[in-house]
Amino acid sequence: MKDRSTEKVAYLTYTEDRLQPQEKPLVRETAWTIHVNGQELVTILCTPNKMNFLVLGFLASERIIQSLDDVGILRVCEDEGNVVDVRLRDNALSLPRRRVLLSGCGGGVTFEDLTANHARLTSSLTITPAQISKLMRDLQRSAEVYRATGGIHASALSDGERLLVVAEDVGRHNTLDKIRGECIYHHIPTKDRIILTTGRISSEMANKAVGMETPILISRTSPTDLAVRLADSWGITLVGYARGKRMNLYTHPERITSME
């Protein structure tokens, strides 16, 4: 599928009592319906790039699949009304029905109980403030659609030294699903890695992080109070407002080293 993350739009700018015509790309937001084994599962609002990875990551986040081996066919059908058709190897799988609307932009939805117990992450992974600052700069440079349009979220998976996978989307939760799906497809481990994001860390972001077994979650903006409580309970180091040499450490600060 062709990457159509942006669409050029004509508009007028008003400056100093003058109207001037302009044309600039804007980030695209489209609705896609996921069908699993012939049943409609959910419709997701998203930026239409990396759609195969988004769907793989979403299905893994909802515990519908465990690995790529569970998927028989995945077809992205833009010319059939923006449908993603997934056929699992287990044709008798019972799909979840209870949906929870997420607080994120982009029309997010989950079938998970976000306050349910997860196994507490135990990890010896550490990172320094200098590494965090560098990785956040790397994320900013890698966010190509953001630089072209603004109005989009970017997230990345890192090993502490470099960015392994980067994703952009109007929904911050979608970026994590795209990352997870790409990692599933390319057999990239997410355990004991670091997630960096430009978006607010809310409960669903913490939930997706614990599902990926990533013990460090970093954002340039704020977490919610529920995200902090969940991260503390699940053993996730939560860092917010990571901007330059400043950052807030909300939970499990022991993983942030060299604090002199």
**Which CATH number is 79's domain given?**
3.10.20.10
Inside any domain, residue 83: yes
What is the rounded distance in angstroms from the CA atom of residue 174 to the CA atom of residue 209? 12
Query: In which band, very low, low, confident or very high, does the pLDDT at 112 lie, cut at 50, 70 and 90?
Result: low
Contact, 127 vs 216, CB < 8 A? yes
Question: Residue 244: pLDDT above 60?
Answer: yes
Amino acid at the residue 162: R
Domain holding 168, by residue range, is 129-255
- Please, what is the average pLDDT of the chain? 90
**Sheet bearing 39-46, strands edge to edge:** 39-46, 30-36, 83-88, 71-77
**What average pLDDT score do residues 198-223 get?**
95
Number of domains in the chain: 2
Dihedral sign, Cα of residue 211, residue 60, residue 219, residue 202:
negative
**What average pLDDT score do residues 196-223 get?**
95
Inside any domain, residue 8: no
Whether residue 143 sits in one domain with residue 38:
no
CATH code of 246's domain:
3.40.140.10
Domain boundary among 78, 110, 142: 110
Lowest mean pLDDT among 104-108, 125-129, 217-221, 251-255: 104-108
Whole-prediction pTM value?
Answer: 0.90
Whether residue 198 sits in one domain with residue 138:
yes
The active-site residue, picked from 46, 77, 105, 183, is 105
Whether residue 249 sits in one domain with residue 135:
yes
User: Three-state secondary structure along 122-151?
Assistant: CCCCCECHHHHHHHHHHHHHHCHHHHHHCC
Amino acid at the residue 201: I
Contact, 165 vs 155, CB < 8 A? no
The torsion angle over the Cα atoms of residues 243, 245, 246 and 248, rounded to 10 degrees, is 90
Inside any domain, residue 9: no
Whether residue 134 sits in one domain with residue 101:
no
What is the pLDDT, as a whole number, of residue 16? 85
What is the pLDDT, as a whole number, of residue 113? 54
Whether residue 137 sits in one domain with residue 90:
no
What is the pLDDT, as a whole number, of residue 202? 92
Whether residue 142 sits in one domain with residue 89:
no
Whether residue 76 sits in one domain with residue 183:
no
Inside any domain, residue 10: no
Inside any domain, residue 171: yes
What is the pLDDT, as a whole number, of residue 51? 96
Query: In which band, very low, low, confident or very high, does the pLDDT at 79 lie, cut at 50, 70 and 90?
Result: confident
Mapped onto helix, strand or coil, the DSSP state of residue 93 is coil
Question: Residue 94: pLDDT above 80?
Answer: no
What is the pLDDT, as a whole number, of residue 100? 47
Whether residue 173 sits in one domain with residue 75:
no
Whether residue 206 sits in one domain with residue 150:
yes
Domain boundary among 110, 144, 165: 110
Whether residue 99 sits in one domain with residue 167:
no
Domain boundary among 77, 110, 143: 110
**77 catalytic, yes or no?**
no
Q: Which residues pair with 46 in a beta bridge?
A: 30
Whether residue 246 sits in one domain with residue 141:
yes
**What percent of the chain has pLDDT above 90?**
79
Instruction: Give me the helix-helix angle, 51-61 and 172-186, nearest 10°.
Output: 100
Whether residue 102 sits in one domain with residue 135:
no
Inside any domain, residue 118: no
What is the pLDDT, as a whole number, of residue 17? 86
What is the pLDDT, as a whole number, of residue 109? 56
